[in-house]
């Protein structure tokens, strides 16, 4: 039965990505999606670490434990922003045949994770 939709594709979301260029090799788009999901898993791990660090009341200096927890939770909230922005920028670049841009939040996430680790280490040493 013909429902009148033959030959018409539904608009894809987000239009800001899909209205540019041409379809890349599906393998590249799927790899980009896996990278997006890796950032989401990273976000969940950072959030869980921040909650667990404070929730389990580990034997650390309390102010440093709280500071490390807050840093981890803030990083966990920033990672999905990197996931979405990175996916969209990479997909748009592939569709336009341009080089892939570097992740914008990778350096702050690296610095923040290192800072949280140093806070935990200091919390252990100063308890």
Cα–Cα nearest to 97, from 15, 24, 35: 24
What is d(CA 120, CA 117) in angstroms, rounded to the nearest whole number?
Answer: 5
Would you say residue 3 has pLDDT above 70? no
Within a domain: residue 86?
A: yes
Per-residue pLDDT, 114: 97
Cα–Cα nearest to 37, from 94, 73, 79: 79
Within a domain: residue 96?
A: yes
Where does the pLDDT of residue 8 fall: very low under 50, low under 70, confident under 90, or very high at 90 and above? Answer: low
Would you say residue 1 has pLDDT above 50? no
Residues in the chain: 127
Within a domain: residue 18?
A: no
Domain that holds residue 83: 25-125
Mean per-residue pLDDT, 78-104: 94
Within a domain: residue 5?
A: no
Within a domain: residue 2?
A: no
pTM: 0.84
Per-residue pLDDT, 33: 96
Within a domain: residue 89?
A: yes
Provide the number of structural domains found in the chain.
Answer: 1
Cα–Cα nearest to 67, from 125, 118, 110: 118
Residue-wise pLDDT tens digits, 13-66? 899 899 989 999 999 999 999 999 999 999 999 999 999 999 997 899 999 999
Within a domain: residue 116?
A: yes
Residue-wise pLDDT tens digits, 100-124? 998 888 899 999 999 999 999 999 9
Within a domain: residue 50?
A: yes
């Amino acid at each position: 039965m013909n429902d009148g939709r033959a030959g018409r594709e539904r608009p894809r979301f987000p239009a800001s990505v899909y209205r540019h260029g041409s379809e890349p090799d599906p393998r590249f788009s799927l790899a980009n999606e896996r990278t997006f999901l890796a950032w989401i898993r990273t976000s969940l791990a950072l959030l869980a670490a921040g909650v667990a660090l404070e929730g389990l009341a580990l034997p650390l200096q309390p102010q440093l434990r709280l500071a490390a927890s807050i840093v981890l939770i803030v990083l966990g909230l920033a990672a999905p922003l990197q996931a979405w922005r990175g996916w969209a920028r990479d997909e748009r670049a592939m569709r336009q045949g341009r080089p892939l841009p570097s992740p914008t939040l990778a350096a702050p996430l690296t610095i923040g994770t290192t800072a949280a680790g140093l806070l935990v280490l200091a919390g252990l040493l100063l308890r």
